[in-house]
Amino acid sequence: MRQLPPLNALRAFEAAARLMSFSKAAQELNVTPAAVSQQIRSLEDMAGVKLFRRLTRSLLLTDAGQAALPFMTEGLDQLAEGYRALRRQDEAGVLTVSVGPTIGAKWLVPRLERFHARHPDIGIRVDANVRVVDFRRDDVDVAIRYGAGVYDGLTAHCLMSEFVAPVCSPTLLKGDMPLRKPADLHHHTLLHAQWRMQHAFAPNWRMWLLATGLTDVDPDRGPQFSEDSLVVQAAIAGQGVALASRAVVAADIASGLLAYPFGAPDGRGEGYGFYVVYPEADASRPKVRAFTEWVLEEASEADPD
Give residue 1's pLDDT: 60
- Helix 22-29 and helix 33-47, axial crossing angle in degrees, nearest 10: 100
pLDDT at 271 over 90: no
**127 phi/psi in degrees, rounded to 5:** -105, 100
Give residue 125's pLDDT: 93
pLDDT at 270 over 80: no
Which of residues 83 and 301 earns the better pLDDT score? 301
Specify the DSSP class assigned to residue 170.
G
Average pLDDT score over residue span 226-232: 91
pLDDT at 88 over 60: no
Give residue 258's pLDDT: 96
CATH 3.40.190.10 boundaries in the chain: 94-161+271-302, 162-269
Q: Would you list the DSSP string of 77-122? A: HHHHHHHHHHHHT--SSEEEEEE-HHHIIIIIGGGHHHHHHH-TT-
pLDDT at 77 over 80: yes
Average pLDDT score over residue span 180-192: 93
Give residue 133's pLDDT: 80
CATH 1.10.10.10 boundaries in the chain: 7-88
Q: What whole-number percentage of the chain has pLDDT above 70?
A: 93
Give residue 137's pLDDT: 77
Strand partners, 193: 225
Largest CA distance in the chain: 82
Which of residues 57 and 87 earns the better pLDDT score? 57
* CB 125, CB 170: distance < 8 Å: no
Q: What whole-number percentage of the chain has pLDDT above 90?
A: 56
Specify the DSSP class assigned to residue 168.
B
Q: Would you list the DSSP string of 238-300? A: TS-EEEEEHHHHHHHHHHTS-B-TT-S---EEEEEEEEEEEEGGGTT-HHHHHHHHHHHHHHH
- Domain 162-269 fold: D-Maltodextrin-Binding Protein; domain 2 (3.40.190)
- Domain 7-88 fold: Arc Repressor Mutant, subunit A (1.10.10)
State pTM to two decimals: 0.67
Task: Give the other-Cβ count within 10 Å of 127's Cβ.
Answer: 14
At 247, is the pLDDT very low, low, confident or very high (cuts 50, 70, 90)?
Answer: confident
pLDDT at 89 over 60: no
Q: How many Å is the Cα radius of gyration of the chain?
A: 24
Taking only the tens place, the pLDDT of each residue in 212-221 is: 898 888 999 9
Give residue 55's pLDDT: 83
At 36, is the pLDDT very low, low, confident or very high (cuts 50, 70, 90)?
Answer: very high
Question: What does the alpha-carbon distance between residue 178 and residue 188 come to, in Å, rounded to a whole number?
Answer: 9
Average pLDDT score over residue span 171-196: 90
Question: What does the alpha-carbon distance between residue 80 and residue 78 come to, in Å, rounded to a whole number?
Answer: 5
Span of 84-93, 131-140, 249-258 with lowest mean pLDDT:
84-93
At 266, is the pLDDT very low, low, confident or very high (cuts 50, 70, 90)?
Answer: low
* CB 65, CB 52: distance < 8 Å: yes
Span of 154-163, 190-199, 224-233 with lowest mean pLDDT:
190-199
> Please, which residues have CB within 8 angstroms of residue 266's CB and are 6 or more apart in sequence?
163, 165
Instruction: Answer whether CATH 3.40.190.10 is correct for domain 94-161+271-302.
Output: yes
Nearest to 152 by CA among 43, 31, 277: 277
> For all residues of the chain together, what is the average pLDDT?
88
pLDDT at 304 over 60: no
Taking CA atoms, 73 is separated from 22, 66, 182, in Å, by 16, 11, 53
At 57, is the pLDDT very low, low, confident or very high (cuts 50, 70, 90)?
Answer: confident
- Helix 7-19 and helix 22-29, axial crossing angle in degrees, nearest 10: 130
Give residue 85's pLDDT: 66
